[in-house]
Amino acid sequence: MPTIVFASPKGGAGKSTSAVVLACELARQGAAVTVIDADPNRPVSAWARRPGRPDALEVVADVTEETVIDAIEGAAARAPFVIVDLEGTASLTVAYAISRADLVVIPSQGSQLDAAEAAKAVKLIRQQERAFARRIPHAVLFTRTSAAIRPRTLQHIRGEFEAHGVPALQTQMQEREAFRAIFSFGGTVESLNAGQVSGLEGAARNARAFAAEVVGMLRQSRPAEAA
């Protein structure tokens, strides 16, 4: 079963938010999902303790460098989707998780400084590809972007990544109050109250588009691996 790893050496890039939004959307569509919270700050575990976590969504915490591979393999044996939220540093835990990934998503805000950190994640992925003699599909996910404005800086950074053979998802995780609110109120974007949070329809559309693109990338990568 596919393992989707969220990796970036930069804290605050949007790994945990993107991981939870994706997991909730997959669960909403009827899939069982296990999220492995390998971030020492345990943001996903804190979210899961609040009310409203989907029944089909399991969160596994207390993962260490010694146990992360076993945790991923165990989760993959019981759930159609495994999502791994990693710490914002380069470590053996990060490297081990990447080595087991079917897709690595690299969240990055649209600045040159963030892009440089994302490039470090790409370098680590390519090191794991050489070490394990396998291709590890990966793509940059631009986060906290505006739904209305498309800065030239962001387009320039996207072009730089593509010039170096690093794909970027067409879908961006937009700056949405709803994505922050699920960590305050619990639950999912779909379960939030419109009286508490604005822009729920736009956030739900963004989540659906993100999940659809990730699933599409997973489907495309399987024939390539088989060949």
pLDDT of residue 226: 44
pLDDT of residue 87: 83
User: What would the pLDDT profile of 100-141 be if each residue is shown by its tens digit?
Assistant: 999 999 999 988 888 999 999 999 999 999 999 999 999 999
CB atoms within 10 A of CB 31: 18
Q: For the purposes of burial, counting CB atoms within 10 Å of the CB of 169, is it exposed (0-12), middle (13-18) or buried (19 or more)?
A: buried
SS3 107: strand
pLDDT of residue 77: 95
- Domain ranges in the chain? 3-226
Residue 227 pLDDT > 60, yes or no?
A: no
pLDDT of residue 36: 98
pTM, two decimals, is 0.93
Please give the Cα distance from 114 to 22 (Å, whole number): 22
CATH 3.40.50.300, applies to 3-226: yes
Would you state the structure tokens that stand for residue 1, as one six-digit string? 């079963």
**What is the chain's length?**
227
Please give the Cα distance from 184 to 108 (Å, whole number): 23
User: What would the pLDDT profile of 138-195 be if each residue is shown by its tens digit?
Assistant: 999 999 998 777 778 888 898 999 998 999 999 999 999 999 999 999 999 999 998 8
Please give the Cα distance from 53 to 221 (Å, whole number): 30
pLDDT of residue 73: 96
DSSP output for 58-104: EEE----TTTHHHHHHHHHTT-SEEEEEE-SS--HHHHHHHHT-SEE
Residue 224 pLDDT > 50, yes or no?
A: no
User: What would the pLDDT profile of 50-103 be if each residue is shown by its tens digit?
Assistant: 999 999 999 999 899 999 999 999 999 999 999 999 987 768 999 999 999 999
pLDDT of residue 223: 54
End-to-end CA distance of the chain: 18
Residue 7 pLDDT > 70, yes or no?
A: yes
